[in-house]
Amino acid sequence: MDYQNILEEIQNEIQGSLKKGKLANYIPALEKVNADDFAMSLVTLDNKHYNIGCTEQKFSIQSISKVFTFTLALKRYSKELYKRVGHEPSGDPFNSLAQLEYENGIPRNPFINAGAIVTTDSLLSIYKNNTFEQILKFIQKISNNNSIEYNEEIFKSELNHGFRNIALINLMKSFKNINNNTDKVIETYFKQCSIMMNTKELAQAMLFLANHGINPPTNEVIINELKAKRINSLMLTCGHYDASGDFAYRVGLPGKSGVGGGIVAIIPKKMAICVYSPKLNAYGNSLVGTRALELFSTKTGLSIF
């Protein structure tokens, strides 16, 4: 298929939507972006690259980091972690304090904030004061790019406005589902959210999940096949908060969105995709990004269903 041509068609068709949606505004740092930016990158298992738009433009990966930390944790844990975080969609529109309280501090899945915080806590138990460095190193490795870094201003800004996340971690601590110091965990968590990457790097970083756990450029086993499939399953059922069903319905691909405007998705045995556009829809997912992936799925007929 002529993917480059399809990317160009998509870029044309989404122009009318670039004015829609709203920038994330809970922290000032996230509003300092070009609101009309658009970028989309594909990487195939046989190392072909297709790009359109500002694919060099870095943005904070935010919740996309949850896929990477969960992968890192799954390398070391299995049942111990499953006891602390579930793998069911969180249907609750009220994002999760209520649900977390009803369910005794066990988050529904690793891709809502509470679940990702537990994941980071589990990493802190392994890597101690070195945790963030290990997370960063892991992301650098899977994206074949040692220059990836986090953004201090965004990190600080998250930390100063993260009251709801601090509420989440303290509620879980009261249920004894956080083992480390809450301040350290939350700092590490906000740092991982403020890692800066562009669509090229993110597509590359996701490629091992399209390849049953093996990173194509290096042939390194990042995670075993069963776990890779399970991460994909989780992205499909839980990757987009309470719009996860809608995303599966429209796009039909395992994916994960971040409030910074990025969305990653994979097509098993074929490719990884990343799209970026910072304005969000009502569910907190990139409006144009979601539309672009829906168009991609329709035009190529590629879908897991």
By the criterion CB under 8 A, which residues form the site for a second copy? 86-94, 97-103, 108-109, 163-164, 166-168, 170-171, 173-174, 182, 226, 228-230, 232-234, 236-238, 242-246, 248-249, 252, 254, 268, 298, 303-305
Whether 189 is catalytic is yes
**Residue for token digits 């074949």?**
144
Give the span between the Cα atoms of 254 and 242, in whole angstroms: 15
Residues 6+ apart with CB under 8 A from 24: 30, 31, 259, 260, 261, 278, 280, 284
Give the span between the Cα atoms of 15 and 66, in whole angstroms: 30
Name the DSSP class of 94. Answer: S
Catalytic residue among 191, 241, 275, 297: 241
Q: Among residues 192 and 211, whose Cβ is nearest to a second copy?
A: 211
Q: Among residues 65 and 109, whose Cβ is nearest to a second copy?
A: 109
Q: Among residues 9 and 92, whose Cβ is nearest to a second copy?
A: 92
Minimal distance, residue 244 CB to a second copy, in Å: 7
Distances (CA, A) of 191 to 151, 153, 195: 8, 10, 7
Minimal distance, residue 182 CB to a second copy, in Å: 8
Q: Among residues 36 and 101, whose Cβ is nearest to a second copy?
A: 101
What would the DSSP string read from start to end of 160-193? HH-HHHHHHHHHHHHTT---S-HHHHHHHHHHHH
Distances (CA, A) of 19 to 36, 110, 280: 7, 32, 11
State whether the Cα torsion 107-110-113-114 is positive or negative. Answer: positive
Residues 6+ apart with CB under 8 A from 292: 10, 14, 38, 40, 275, 277
Q: Among residues 13 and 36, whose Cβ is nearest to a second copy?
A: 13
Minimal distance, residue 273 CB to a second copy, in Å: 15
User: Which phi and psi (to 5°) does residue 266 adopt?
Assistant: -130, 150
Whether 63 is catalytic is yes
Name the DSSP class of 216. Answer: T
Whether 66 is catalytic is yes
Question: For residue 232, with 0-12 CB atoms within 10 Å meaning exposed, 13-18 middle and 19 or more buried, which class applies?
Answer: buried
Minimal distance, residue 136 CB to a second copy, in Å: 27
Minimal distance, residue 239 CB to a second copy, in Å: 11
The beta strand positions in 74-170, using DSSP E, are 149-150
Catalytic residue among 259, 264, 275, 288: 259
Q: Among residues 101 and 133, whose Cβ is nearest to a second copy?
A: 101
**Residue for token digits 């160009």?**
8
Which active-site residues does the annotation give? 63, 66, 189, 241, 259
